[in-house]
Amino acid sequence: MRIMKREVMELWRVCFDDTEEFVQFYFDKKYKEENALVYWDEQGAAIAALQTPIYPMTFGGTQIRTGYISGACTHPLARARGVMTKLLREAFYVMRGRKILMSTLIPASEWLYAYYGKMGYATVFDYTPEHYTVLEKPVADHFRVEAIRDEELLTDDVFHYFQSMMRLRPCCVQHERDDFEVIVESLRMDGGALIVVYSDRNIVGMAFAEPMGNHVLIQDGMYDSDDVKQVALWGVMKYLDAAEIYCRELPSGKVDEHRGMARVLDVEQMLRLYAVNNPEQNLVLKVTDDWIPENTGIYVIGKGNCICDNGKQVEVELSVQELTQLLLGYHPEHFPRLEPYFKKCSPFISLMLD
pLDDT, tens only, 230-263? 999 999 999 999 889 999 999 998 889 999 999 9
Tens-place pLDDT, residues 104-129: 999 999 999 999 999 999 999 999 99
Dihedral of CA 340/105/177/187: which sign? negative
316-331 pLDDT, tens per residue?
999 999 999 999 999 9
pLDDT of residue 136: 76
Q: What stretch(es) of the chain map to CATH 3.30.1050.10? A: 266-341
Helix (H, G, I), strand (E, B) or coil at 113: helix
Mean pLDDT, rounded, for 6-16: 95
Which residues neighbour 30 within 8 Å (Cβ) at sequence distance 6 or greater? 51, 53, 70, 182, 353
The pLDDT value given to residue 226: 93
CB neighbour list of residue 262: distance below 8 Å, 6 or more residues apart: 66, 102, 103, 104, 105, 121, 122, 124, 125, 324, 328, 347
> Percentage of residues in the chain with pLDDT exceeding 70?
99
Q: Partners of 308 in the beta sheet?
A: 299
**Residue 219 predicted with pLDDT over 70:** yes
Mean pLDDT for 269-273 is 97
Looking at residue 139, its pLDDT comes to 67
Architecture field, domain 135-242: 3-Layer(aba) Sandwich (3.40)
For residue range 69-79, list pLDDT tens digits in order.
999 999 999 99
pLDDT beyond 70 at 2: no
Neighbours of 264 (CB within 10 A): 26
Whether 200 contacts 111, CB under 8 Å: no
pLDDT score recorded for residue 135? 73
CA distances from 333 to 36, 37, 277 (A): 38, 38, 20
- Is the confidence at residue 168, as pLDDT, over 70? yes
User: Which fold is adopted by the domain 5-100?
Assistant: Aminopeptidase (3.40.630)
Q: Is the dihedral of CA 11, 16, 17, 23 positive or negative?
A: negative
Instruction: Tell me the C-alpha to C-alpha distance, in Å, between residue 223 and each of 24, 94, 143, 175.
Output: 33, 38, 13, 18
SS (H, E, C) 165-209: HHHCCCCEECCCHHHHHHHHHHHHHCCCEEEEEEECCEEEEEEEE
Class of domain 266-341: alpha beta
Strands 283-288 and 316-319: parallel
Give me the chain's average pLDDT, please.
Answer: 94
pTM, two decimals, is 0.94
Q: Is 70 exceeded by the pLDDT of residue 1?
A: no
In this prediction, what percent of the chain has a pLDDT beyond 90?
90
CB 235 within 8 A of CB 195: yes
* Bridge partner residues of 318 (DSSP): 287
Where are the CATH 3.40.630.30 domain residues in the chain?
Answer: 5-100, 135-242
What are 84-107's pLDDT values in tens digits? 999 999 999 999 999 999 999 999
The predicted model gives 152-158 an average pLDDT of: 92
DSSP state string for 225-241:
SHHHHHHHHHHHHHHTT
Write out pLDDT tens, residues 131-152: 999 777 776 778 999 999 988 8
Beta-strand ranges (E) seen in 200-308 are 202-212, 215-223, 244-249, 257-264, 283-288, 297-302, 305-308
